[in-house]
Amino acid sequence: MLVDGDLTTQFLYEALSRGKREWELTFDAVPDLIFITDTQHTITRANRAMADRLGLRPSQIPGRKCYELFHEIGDVPGTCPFLKLLEEGEAANVEMEEQHLGGFFEISVSPLYNEFGEITACVHVARDVTERKKAEEYRLALEQQLQQTQRLESLGVLSGGIAHDFNNILTIILGHCAMARTAQPEEVQKHLEQIEQAGNRAADLCRQMLNYAGKSPLLQTEIDLDVQVREVVSMLQPGFKKKVSLRYQLEPGVPLIKGDQGQVQQIIMNLVVNAVEAIGDRKGTVAISLARHTVPPGQAGHDVFGNAIAPGSYVCLEVSDDGCGMSEETRQRIFEPFFSTKFTGRGLGMSATMGIIRSHNGALQLSSVLGEGSRFRIFFPTTPAACPRVEAELAPEPPRHSQQRLEGTVLLVDDEPELRLVGTVLLNGLGLSVITACNGREALEIYHERSGEIDLVLMDLTMPEMDGVEAYQELRTKTASLPILFCSGYGKKEVSPFIDRDPHAAFLAKPYNSEQMRNMLRKLKEAAAGSGTDQADYPV
């Protein structure tokens, strides 16, 4: 006969046994791989899923090291969350590939403590995330494929748009050439003027494409954005519909910025024109604001592409409207070349604007709601060396040397015979004698033979056999002060690492006119004369 105490003991024993069986059934029923280790990484217990994945019986696992059995390596991996738990008192989930187990696992650890609060063991839970990983990789592959398709589509639109615009320009040029052949002598000048205008249009289109690529050469000056905004909008306003009102909020005394004035004007023009056209025939308002803005360290915002805006001081130009706004698809495509929401829209538009902003180390933010309007914010970095506005206004203009004839001999290096011919005529017109070479190697040979005659080198960048950069580097081993002027239809970026540190080298973008060439050559000759070094003293 059992007394009350015996009944209580038996009841507790049965309850503990039942709880143990339920725990073991649950432990073995969980599909995740679960194993318990001591502080020496020795497995003391593992569930059936763990044993099945390893191809063992549960009784064969205890006593084995977890890094030997699970990771199949000879030591604890550096990414082991249990190691981090023991060393730093905390652990994070980690994702690891276990090739011998055929998949990726997300591993988490939970410590077990004794009555003194010391870690005595740890429960590892390894969840197989291989299928999720494959799904993510598949999704990324599809996204990359879509992006590639969109890039190819954009390239097709870009090339088609460029071909369209250039064909129009070439039609004008060829048409006036044909008319000039049969025109009276007094009418030829008019045809030449039309050809020159068409050539300038082609040059502008090339500059737009370089802006889109972020490779346009910058003519750096100090720019007062307040003045530029007022001048550009004042010029555009007569063409705006009377229903559109303009609202200014220009903070006084904003710092000057460094940049290309023409390109900055293009940004203002594009943003304001787009804002006015977004309003259409309705009544609406275009708001233009200008203010200082500081991005503190550690609190950087992000641009329209999700890139962090670098900490520092900026001048923020904001153009907003209450027009039609943009859909999500339009916001994603607005910076594609030749993309337009207008039926007859053509041109590089916002893609060129983005390229200009990048070339000025700026950033752009965009917010828009369909039917409610859009807001563009442009961040132009300020420079500590920027002069106060009053000083900039009072700065004396440099003396003009437009009619000054130059003297000396130029080595003209270009692989295009027509450009060598045109360049020779232009340089002769400035008063210079010309020696020509068709590539960098020939230029070096000529300089070796006639260095005493050559006062300056005018060189293209892209040429066969030896390009301009290679020839420049070879010439600099022979003379440090020979003036070298690079001329190219590409941007300055390729030669900046060399010529930015070289007072006797410079860059002039094609196409150029005789006045630009005269000023650049004069500056280089003055720099060479001021250095007091004669290049003939250097060994050749």
Q: Which of 40-44, 138-142, 143-147, 329-333 has the lowest mean pLDDT?
A: 143-147
Please indicate, yes or no, whether residues 22 and 36 belong to a single structural domain of this protein.
no
Amino acid identity, residue 224? Answer: D
* pLDDT score at 530: 67
Both tokens of 535, joined, read 């290049």
Q: If 0-12 CB within 10 Å is exposed, 13-18 middle and 19+ buried, where does residue 475 land?
A: buried
CATH number assigned to the domain comprising residue 525: 3.40.50.2300
Q: How far is CA 445 from CA 89, 408, 413, in A?
A: 71, 20, 12
Q: Does a structural domain hold residue 242? A: yes
Please indicate, yes or no, whether residues 20 and 38 belong to a single structural domain of this protein.
no
Cβ neighbours for 118, distance < 8 A, ≥ 6 positions apart: none
Q: Does a structural domain hold residue 404? A: no
CATH number assigned to the domain comprising residue 50: 3.30.450.20
pLDDT at 70 > cutoff 90: no
Q: Angle CA(501)–CA(504)–CA(510) in degrees, nearest 5?
A: 95
Please indicate, yes or no, whether residues 338 and 289 belong to a single structural domain of this protein.
yes
Q: Does a structural domain hold residue 399? A: no
Please indicate, yes or no, whether residues 9 and 82 belong to a single structural domain of this protein.
no
Higher per-residue pLDDT: 67 or 343 = 67
- Percent of the chain's residues with pLDDT above 90: 13
Mean pLDDT for 312-334 is 85
CA distance linking residue 77 with residue 82, whole number of Å: 10
* pLDDT tens by residue, 145-167: 765 665 565 556 556 666 767 77
pLDDT at 437 > cutoff 90: yes
Please indicate, yes or no, whether residues 11 and 40 belong to a single structural domain of this protein.
no
Per-residue pLDDT band for 491 (boundaries 50, 70, 90) equals low
* pLDDT tens by residue, 253-294: 889 998 888 788 878 888 888 888 888 888 889 999 999 998
Please indicate, yes or no, whether residues 417 and 380 belong to a single structural domain of this protein.
no
Q: Does a structural domain hold residue 254? A: yes
Are β-strands 373-381 and 312-321 bridged in parallel, bridged antiparallel, or unpaired? antiparallel
- Give the count of domains, the chain: 5
* pLDDT score at 78: 66
Q: What's the predicted TM-score (pTM) here? A: 0.46
Mean pLDDT for 174-191 is 86
Please indicate, yes or no, whether residues 152 and 194 belong to a single structural domain of this protein.
yes
Q: Which of 351, 213, 195 is nearest to 270 (CA)?
A: 351
Mean pLDDT for 295-312 is 81
Please indicate, yes or no, whether residues 498 and 418 belong to a single structural domain of this protein.
yes
Q: Does a structural domain hold residue 401? A: no
* pLDDT tens by residue, 513-525: 788 888 888 888 8
* pLDDT score at 344: 37
Domain that holds residue 107: 31-128
Please indicate, yes or no, whether residues 441 and 316 belong to a single structural domain of this protein.
no
Mean pLDDT for 184-202 is 85
Please indicate, yes or no, whether residues 422 and 524 belong to a single structural domain of this protein.
yes
Q: Does a structural domain hold residue 13? A: yes
Q: Strands, DSSP E only, in 386-526?
A: 409-413, 433-437, 456-460, 484-488, 505-509
Instruction: Give the highest mean pLDDT range of 48-62, 441-455, 494-508.
Output: 441-455
CATH number assigned to the domain comprising residue 233: 3.30.565.10
Q: Does a structural domain hold residue 21? A: yes
Q: If 0-12 CB within 10 Å is exposed, 13-18 middle and 19+ buried, where does residue 216 land?
A: buried
